[in-house]
Structure 1
């Protein structure tokens, strides 16, 4: 958690691009990995950026301290930190002596991340804006395009206003105006620099020329920027993925609807879902070594949620239909599990369930249906219908289904007052439930979904995804041509379109294949297993100590870690760990390492060290 250093400002003169005179330099290896966040408590927008960063640092087990410029004039000794992160535009207040200390720190090997665009007359040149005695003009632009790999898979990502609206309040600096040695990693849609890096002496600057890093969907890009700024950056990750299928087994119907009717004219709704669709999804599971969690509605037909609803009404007895739905499933897989999606598909909100007594009665009926009919243990996870719920309703649910231990809503989208936009961690309205929110959805990897997935993996080493079987049927028509559709291009299930566009299933297959290729260490698990792994990760206590030649990771649980090195300095196991993956990123390498509990040591080898190795020495990476 965040702490504020109590050290008084060190005395002594400063020398440009060197250590303070009168004080010995403190070797960085003496200190555990820690970063310093610099904020100003009067800068509300900057605090929102810092809050997003702190959440990412907490998850990755990167120790941090906070320096509030409004409350303190004394600075701690910067040598103790692997990187300094500026989270306020009010850095313009920084006087010349403190600016010089910050510059000395960077040139001596420290990292500096500007997470909220800022300017200071004494630091303008170091920031990459040249010698500038006046603050540059501000411009409002939009869009985000990654020109290089900040994180594996990010190069080429382009987000326009129709995907996700990023409004950059940015300094009006063109690419050609940046100081020599600046490498642009990301731009706006007009090609103006948003993210650049600079090597400065032994240190590194990472500068985000924007104020949008409060956005949860960009958290992973911030975490990777933090690792990039450090000489050697280490972050703990959880290493799991969840693949959810909502609304299965589906409702029963003999309807023949487009576009399935054109592709499979012999199949009705039931024939398609319990035949072609399910067969293909099971083949996908086997091909990519997936595990599914299937979320089931108990009774689609009983939608009476009014006060005094008659529990004995004929439509309330959904047992026969539920048995028939499960009876249509032709194949099952060991290792999958079923979760609860609701009694019916009415979201558990005041608007849909105004009477909590009725809700309790119907949930008790759902429990009886599950116990008597569902061929699976009682559910331990819940996906809310529509991803919506209210506080009193979730408490009733937990009372009727005490086995439930996790709720899976939405992560970086939606409305918090409807139970969406949830962080991983305890459910705010019912702490006995753990939130394991989903981030991406559907069959087609659209730009915004690619961004959301990359960010989640880049921060947490986690990917959470869900699909609906009936997405294929949700197409525009003459009656509903406007608005949101899950299959807006009317794509076929298996067949390519007349214009050559791949089918929904082909695009999902390709999406999973990309993930498997880029992140082979991600393990697809059921929700109950994901809950166990998340809790295990949260309980892990981590300390990292690094030097030019080694990285030492101490943890009480072990697990997976990102280790980012500069200039293609590679990492190799030395004591009690192994390197499971290694990828090139801009001006460095990102390693994924697995550590056992206790002390693990990796050695770092740059080109010079590798050349000096004795002939025949095996590479253990």
Structure 2
């Protein structure tokens, strides 16, 4: 035998053995990673810590209880909606809150409340304005959360609201922030027509602090002193919207001295429909730009770009998988032609190796819904029974177990953000450890269809953890919603779809380079504005959501600062503190200034102290 050929053959054999050994070691390491990741997460939170691990500060029950009162008119839809929005915001602030009809306010002892919030425009309905203003003058906090009607009742008190001249009603647009009432918001303007208010032309006295004005320079939000107390006024009608909850929280916080409230302190990035079958189809745009098929584009261009952004701007991706894109809602569900195991293997491993997570989007993209309105609007087929949903989900479970036998999925994202009660039950049956549902925080494109959530834990134990924004870029309305969410609950949660690149409606005619540039710009701004937000997977954030929901806090204000007491303490918790004072001594907590006079407080024990000077 030719010695060169013999040497060449042996070299090939040796190299083949080395490659196989490397693959084996890598697979073993990956499998260990999958096992370790799930074991840690389950035992750290989603396995639900026993009550023995929770602690309650000894002085919690003796600490002061802050109680708020919201006054509204149930006969007016706008007042009722505003009341509900304020109540939910106050609950996120972890304060006790009561509701009362304006006509019944005369029966309430105002001295039992730290803050009274007026969600009623016609102040003549209140009937006890003198008593209400006296409450403020004696040290109470008042917040008029909607533009009062200009009538005899308003003329009775307008001077005490910091107003020196009342004018006509006017429709205003946009918002310019004069202060950091929204975190990192000072001097920012939002000029889009998505912000519209019914306001009153006013002139304010020089003692009023104006936090926000309209694009037409009409004062929108201000505060002023009233005797020993404070009063805040919102001269508009937009606080009915969830996207403006940061303004509600800010108005409450800035009208109090040394105000502190809990936040989740999380940053989550979802990729819906990923891993997914990338069918071997052609796209003229992709082929012209990259000389690649669609699968090759995602493998060689899109995914490396997304990983680069994650590395640069501190993101952990949670991908939610789709098994197939068929439209079956009746068995049999087996679909070998529509399934790509290679996609789940390649991208699933890459997700986990880059500290990410795999969640569930569905067997296919047919939302678990049987409503005619939903199916006709989305052009989907209705699921006629839970048993069919269960059968489809069992196929997804088997599919996942074949590739990642030791991995358990904890997060479910409903296709098109639509989920029925029957779909929820099917998920619980097939995936008992699926503890998190992530849909949307704001109403989706068609009112009454999307599964709209609040952060919390549902009665059935499922963690409700909505996403707050979507897309490769951020519109001005998205930016407004984002800055309000960070300011009120300390959370950023965003999702994209891989196929946005291919969909002309969703990409708006932009190339991938343009979309990617916008995506980088968005994540760069988030990182620059809020570097303190903790990057997490959906499961990690779900654990924080659970703890945030269950914790209770009470604050005592002393001559030397703040003493805090926590019930339901299970580990480090995070709070925002607004104060104009200097921080001196810290006990069982640490602080980081994140804006002028605003601090993120990391609480390390169930009782903590912050010295203020």
Per the normalisation by structure 1, the TM-score is 0.78
Aligned twin of 1:561:
575
Alpha-carbon displacement from aligned partner over 1:41-92 (angstroms, at most 9, x marks no partner): 44542232121111111122123344543224244254x6443322222333
Say which SS state the counterpart of residue 422 (structure 1) adopts.
coil
- 1:599 maps to 2:613: no
Of residues 49-58 and 196-205 in structure 1, the stretch that sits farther from structure 2 once superposed is: 196-205
C-alpha spacing 1:59/1:573, structure 2 compared with 1 (3 Å): farther
Q: Distance in 2 between matches of 1:570 and 1:259?
A: 58
Pick from 293, 300, 310 the counterpart of residue 275 of structure 1: 300
State the alpha-carbon separation in 1 of the partners of residues 498 and 604 from structure 2.
40
Q: Identify the residue that residue 118 of structure 1 maps to in structure 2.
A: 148
| Structure 1 residue 221 corresponds to structure 2 residue 251 | no
> 1:131 Cα shift?
6.4
- Summarize the Cα distance change of 1:276–1:30 in structure 2 as closer, same or farther, 3 Å threshold: closer
Structure 2 unaligned runs (5+)? Answer: 1-61, 376-380
Q: Note the C-alpha offset of 1:318.
A: 5.0
Query: d(CA) in 1 for partners of 2:583 and 2:113?
Result: 22
CA shift at 1:372, angstroms?
1.4
Q: Distance in 2 between matches of 1:170 and 1:328?
A: 52
In 2, are the aligned partners of 1:405 and 1:432 still within 8 Å (CA)?
yes
Aligned match for 1:285, one of 291, 310, 322: 310
Change (3 A) 1:318 1:458: farther
Aligned counterpart, 1:127 = 161
Alignment check: 8 A CA contact 1:142 1:160 kept = yes
The corresponding residue for 2:453 is: 422
Residue 94 of structure 1: how far off its partner (Å): 4.7
Length-normalised TM-score, structure 2: 0.79
Relative to total residues, which structure has the larger helix share, 1 or 2? 2
State the alpha-carbon separation in 2 of the partners of residues 236 and 247 from structure 1.
Answer: 33
CA displacement 1:18-61 (0-9 Å, x = unmatched): xxxxxxxxxxx994444333334445422321211111111221
Q: Secondary structure at the match of 2:506?
A: coil
SS class of match (2:240): coil
- Structure 1 residue 412 corresponds to structure 2 residue 442: yes
Q: What does residue 321 of structure 1 align with? A: 340
Pair 1:324–1:455, CA change in 2 (3 A): closer
Secondary structure of the structure 2 residue equivalent to 1:515: helix
The structural deviation recorded for 1:235 is 0.9
| Alignment pair present for 1:160 and 2:160 | no
Distance 1:222 1:249 in 2: 39
For 1:46, the equivalent position in structure 2 comes to 79
The question of whether the paired residues in 1 share the 8 Å contact of 2:105 and 2:126 is answered with: no
For 2:340, what is the secondary structure of its paired residue? helix
Looking at structure 1, the residues matched to 538 and 463 of structure 2 have their Cα atoms a distance apart, in angstroms, of: 11
Counterpart mapping for 1:463-612 below 5 A: 463-475=492-504, 485-493=505-513, 503-547=514-558, 549-556=560-567, 557=569, 559-565=573-579, 568-584=580-596, 589-605=597-613
Provide the C-alpha distance between the structure 1 equivalents of 2:281 and 2:179, rounded to a whole number of angstroms.
Answer: 49
2:106 matches 1:73: yes
The CA distance in 1 between the partners of 2:257 and 2:263, in whole Å, is 19
**1:462 aligns with one of 470, 491, 497:** 491
Alpha-carbon separation, structure 2, partners of 1:537 and 1:328: 32
The one-character-per-residue Cα deviations of 1:66-121 (angstroms, maximum 9, x if unpaired) are: 4543224244254x6443322222333455xx544544554555432211222523
Structure of higher RCO (CA pairs closer than 8 Å, 6+ residues apart): 2
Measured after TM superposition, the shift of residue 182 of structure 1 is 3.2
Q: Give secondary structure in 1 for the equivalent of 2:297.
A: helix
2:93 corresponds to: 60
After TM superposition, give the deviation of residue 325 of structure 1 in Å.
4.8
